[in-house]
Structure 1
Amino acid sequence: MHSTAKPYFKNSTYTIVSKVAYLIGVPLRIFENEHEPPKLEVYRELEKNKNARIVRNLCRLRTEIELNFKAINDRMLYEYKNLYSLPDLIPMECVNQLSADGISIIKSNYTLVQYIIEINNILSNRINNCKEVFPIWINWSYIRDLFIMPNGLNEAGAADAAAVYYEYKRYYPYQVYINWPPSDEGNILYSDKKFVMLLYQWHKDEFKDVSKVSDAGDAIKGGIYDFLQDSEKTVIVVDCENSNPYKLCATLHNLDANALNKIVKIILYDDVHSASAWQILNTYVKIPVEHILIERVKQSKSLVDIRLTGGAFREFYQHNVDSFIIASSDSDYWGLISSLPEARFLVMVEHGKCGPDIKDALTDSGIFYCYLDDFYSGNANDLKLNALIREIYRYLDSSFHLNVNDMMEEAYRATRAEMSDVEKQQFYNKYIKPMHLVIDNEGNVSIELKSK
């Protein structure tokens, strides 16, 4: 793994670690400390979520029982105490909140180990209710494993897990119990970037999309803000063939809204072969979007570059736009830049798609450029999901059409089955309305009626 030194994790986000910290039961005082990674606003948000509250309180109880096992166990054995009568050792607010949320944790004649097993059982049954708390790009099964005590539904497994916890307690995040291979990694909840990379390593996997867990640094954002501050009127021109709608959307979401006020509009120069998500970008950004779909005269030749250049000239001379942000990794826009020296330019490219020659030319000309990939991309998930769903609907509409009324008329005609209107309605309600899609392992779809 990369060094866990702080500079490597600079510019990381803290959303994932804040959610994990809440659920595993990290104390509130950690969230309230502005110098600690977990964010208080995430704590407050999850406190409104019943499923998250239940998991957090169960985890808090489990940790406190493990931390104070001997003291609690002795008083249960020799003073006939139960959990509710040990407020100095058990956080009663957890017990009370669980009860209010419908979980009765207190049992008669339970041993302390039985309580741990009961907590483990409830957690294993309820942790999947928190799946929606996390974005779909993270492997949920890896997150889920943190809450599942290995073999925790029997006394031997609970004892083994406790032994590991006691031996390596100093390595556990804020000394809170989780299921992980404990080692000296520092604070594993230091940042999203550090935590997610470790999480995947624990499962013999590798997390590669660091844009989901980090954001562009102050130097990059500062360069953009300086450019906008010095401009009178800015337009973003986008070569949709050579830019990414999700990364552009994420970039705009991660920039200060007040600074973006200098941008009067985004002009999308789109080709029929570009990503369909460009067509709905306007619903995810606050800047006005002008979408220009450019037809091809010759199918093998796109006209986007020519139209983009012409459009930029028109904006400059007719609409008094003095500054342009070009979103494209293509070197063809250098002709526009060199032909319009009176205008100011900033270029947004992507790693791996922009060659060294054009970057050298931009640097030599004093033109600031940045990478769209460097900005936190997790906040563009809604655009990605809705673009996918929209495209699936389009595919279904073009590939499949079924009218059940026509189907039933054909069935009655072919079978010569005589049924009264009441019988037909009952048949329809029982067999037709509950029909559903069945997808096999190869992705083939069939429609299945309710069986008799």
Structure 2
Amino acid sequence: MDVLENAVTEKNALVEAEAFPTDDRVTYRDSTYEIVSKVAYLIGVPKRIFDNEHEAPKIEIYEKLDADKTARIIRHLCIIRTAIERNFKHINERMKFSYLSISSMPEYVPQDSLQQLNADGISFIKKSSTKLSQHIVEINKLLSDRINNCKKLFPLWLNWLYVKNLFLMPDGLKEEGTKAAADIYYAHLLFYPYQMYINWEPEDVGNLLYNDKKFVTLLYQMNGDYFTEYSKVSDAGSYIKGSIYEFIGSSEKVVVVVDCENSDPYKLCATLKNLDYQYTQKIASIILFDDVHSASAWRILDSFTHIPVEHMMTERVKQNKSLVDVMLIARTCQEHYKNNVDSFILVSSDSDYWGLISSLPEARFLVMIERENCGPDLKNALVNAGIFYCYIDDFYSGNAEDIKIGALFKEMYHYIDQAVRLNIYEMFTEALRATRIEMSSSEQKQFVDKYLKTMQMSIADNGDVTLEIKRK
């Protein structure tokens, strides 16, 4: 374990372990709350839980999803299903002996949820449903039909099928299935998150929705899988961030210099997004030292940060020799001596830059590296020199999806531009010439509008793309 990073981390872990007998705060520390807040909203966790600053789900997520009709429908269906399951005996007796409907039992079924569903155009109460279990079946049908509408709320890296299954009652379209689910629910009520019904094998794991790291870990285990991408559900601790803020705050002028060949654009983007704007606004610029062989995502980094970005593209004299390191060293010296930059955040895992750091004794450096790509020599040198370093792997990367998608689209559009060029008017003119068919300008326009402008793209299972001209 690295001395500089882990001395404080271990100390904090011991303090937390003493303060909290359960080990959740140690095992799952530095987690995010994005996923659990969304799941909590959808399964119907009461709003007061979101309002409580000591509970995991965040009120800002609640407010965002409550404005989304698709999410709102799922939430209120789950609330009513749980209410029926929890009060089945009392509701069933009143329906059977007092001929009341569930819309007449506010003490058992939340009327505001019924009203909200009606306002959103959803009704599960059928005249043909004479049994309470049939209401649950109708709710299960609606949840099954509509839960996929919420897939957009969750990131691509999260297995949607695992989340989706939490909302689907096993064999829930039959009365026998609803009874079996109710029996499990009654027997293990306290094991359900905030006592809201979900489809899982209940066990005493504490608060399933404690934070993202715990929830996703257990979710994957429930499905016989293992979750390993913890940077997607955790963020750098307060010590790491505090050290960065202290470095920036005590500087006159800060510049970030990035060795694009030895850094990951997505991890850096995640790091920048998770730092407080109050401090990052003091950073004068980010200078990217790029090479033609570096990831194309570096070209669009400036779209995802408020900090001015300067691209320094280097050309290769020899194909196997990059000049990025030379350019970075020269520009850093220029920034220090000419532009009065006193502090640099160096983003690179290359030990060659130790020469740069040691040759500018009056400049201050903070180094951001990648855990797997940086050897012990550089880290030991930094520790011995009292220079703080941190891992960009440790910052929450779940919010880097935008830049990944942006980079993918940029490359795909580039590929399309190179691979595809089709002009329907040129194609039609060539077809007329080859067939020696004569058409008036009016006939040509009608033909183009009817057949060519309605062409459709078809994609085969192997990915091949064909264009189909409809003849009818």
For the residue of structure 2 that corresponds to 1:103, the secondary structure is coil
Query: Are 1:116 and 2:148 counterparts?
Result: no
Residue identity over aligned pairs, in percent, reads 59
Alignment partner, residue 127 of structure 1 = 147
Larger mean Cα displacement after TM superposition, 154-163 or 315-324: 154-163
Matches within 5 A, 1:415-434: 415-434=435-454
Alignment partner, residue 280 of structure 2 = 260
Alignment partner, residue 220 of structure 2 = 200
Conserved in 2, the CA contact under 8 Å of 1:98 and 1:105? no
For the residue of structure 1 that corresponds to 2:45, the secondary structure is coil
Q: Distance in 2 between matches of 1:143 and 1:418?
A: 60
Structure 1 position 37, deviation (Å): 0.5
Alignment partner, residue 315 of structure 2 = 295
CA deviation profile, 1:201-237 (whole Å, cap 9, x unmatched): 2222222211111100001011111111221111110
For the residue of structure 2 that corresponds to 1:114, the secondary structure is helix
| Unmatched runs of 5 consecutive residues or more in structure 1 | none
Alignment partner, residue 14 of structure 1 = 33
Structure 1 position 447, deviation (Å): 1.8
Q: Distance in 1 between matches of 2:102 and 2:146?
A: 22
1:343 to 363, 368, 378: 363
Larger mean Cα displacement after TM superposition, 139-148 or 432-441: 432-441
Q: Distance in 2 between matches of 1:179 and 1:25?
A: 14
Alignment partner, residue 331 of structure 1 = 351
Alignment partner, residue 24 of structure 1 = 43
Query: Are 1:316 and 2:339 counterparts?
Result: no
Q: Distance in 1 between matches of 2:398 and 2:327?
A: 32
Structure 1 position 419, deviation (Å): 4.1
Alignment partner, residue 430 of structure 2 = 410
2:58 to 39, 62, 71: 39
Q: Distance in 1 between matches of 2:124 and 2:261?
A: 58
| Unmatched runs of 5 consecutive residues or more in structure 2 | 1-21
CA deviation profile, 1:277-302 (whole Å, cap 9, x unmatched): 11111121111111110011111100
Structure 1 position 102, deviation (Å): 0.4
Alignment partner, residue 221 of structure 1 = 241
Q: Distance in 1 between matches of 2:441 and 2:187?
A: 74
Q: Considering only aligned residues, what root-mean-square deviation do their CA atoms show, in Å? A: 1.4
CA deviation profile, 1:188-212 (whole Å, cap 9, x unmatched): 1000011111111222222221111
Larger mean Cα displacement after TM superposition, 195-204 or 51-60: 195-204
Matches within 5 A, 1:48-447: 48-110=67-129, 111-447=131-467
Q: Distance in 1 between matches of 2:378 and 2:90?
A: 69
Larger mean Cα displacement after TM superposition, 418-427 or 429-438: 418-427
Q: Distance in 2 between matches of 1:189 and 1:246?
A: 27
The normalised TM-score by structure 2 is: 0.93
CA deviation profile, 1:146-183 (whole Å, cap 9, x unmatched): 11111111111111111221222221101111111221
Conserved in 2, the CA contact under 8 Å of 1:95 and 1:105? no
CA deviation profile, 1:360-415 (whole Å, cap 9, x unmatched): 11101101000001001122211111111011001110111111111111222223
Q: Distance in 2 between matches of 1:145 and 1:245?
A: 34
Q: Distance in 2 between matches of 1:434 and 1:215?
A: 49
| Alpha-carbon spacing, 1:429–1:158, altered in 2? closer, same or farther (3 Å) | farther
Larger mean Cα displacement after TM superposition, 279-288 or 50-59: 279-288
Larger mean Cα displacement after TM superposition, 376-385 or 434-443: 434-443
Aligned residues: 450
Q: Distance in 2 between matches of 1:88 and 1:190?
A: 29
The normalised TM-score by structure 1 is: 0.97
Q: Distance in 1 between matches of 2:261 and 2:52?
A: 46
For the residue of structure 1 that corresponds to 2:407, the secondary structure is helix
Name segments (4+ residues, structure 1) moved above 6 Å. Answer: none
